Amino acid sequence: MALKLKVTLVRSPIHREQSQKDTVRGLGLRRLHHSRVLDDTPSIRGMIRKIQHLVAVEPADE
């Protein structure tokens, strides 16, 4: 079974570079404290690394 990550937006992307805003949207995060459960893949890890100062990441229970 593939590992899952729970990604939560904890800081606003306002006043950030457009590429960081696009990355937040690409992960499916729309508003503060919104969470998504995503597959743990290298591409998702790279997106998380780019906006690590805006999100909280934890293993998902699923």
Would the pLDDT of 40 be above 80? yes
Neighbours of 58 (CB within 10 A): 10
Residue 62: which pLDDT band, with cuts at 50, 70 and 90? low
Q: How large a percentage of the chain has pLDDT more than 90?
A: 94
* Segment 23-32, tens digit of pLDDT: 999 999 999 9
- Tokens representing residue 61 in the block: 């229970």
Contact indicator for 9, 62 with CB cutoff of 8 Å: no
- Tokens representing residue 2 in the block: 């593939």
| CATH code, domain with 23 | 3.30.1390.20
User: Which residues span the domain enclosing 32?
Assistant: 4-59
Average pLDDT over residues 12-36: 97
Q: Is pTM, for the whole model, over 0.85?
A: yes
Average pLDDT over residues 8-32: 97
- Please give the tally of structural domains in the chain: 1
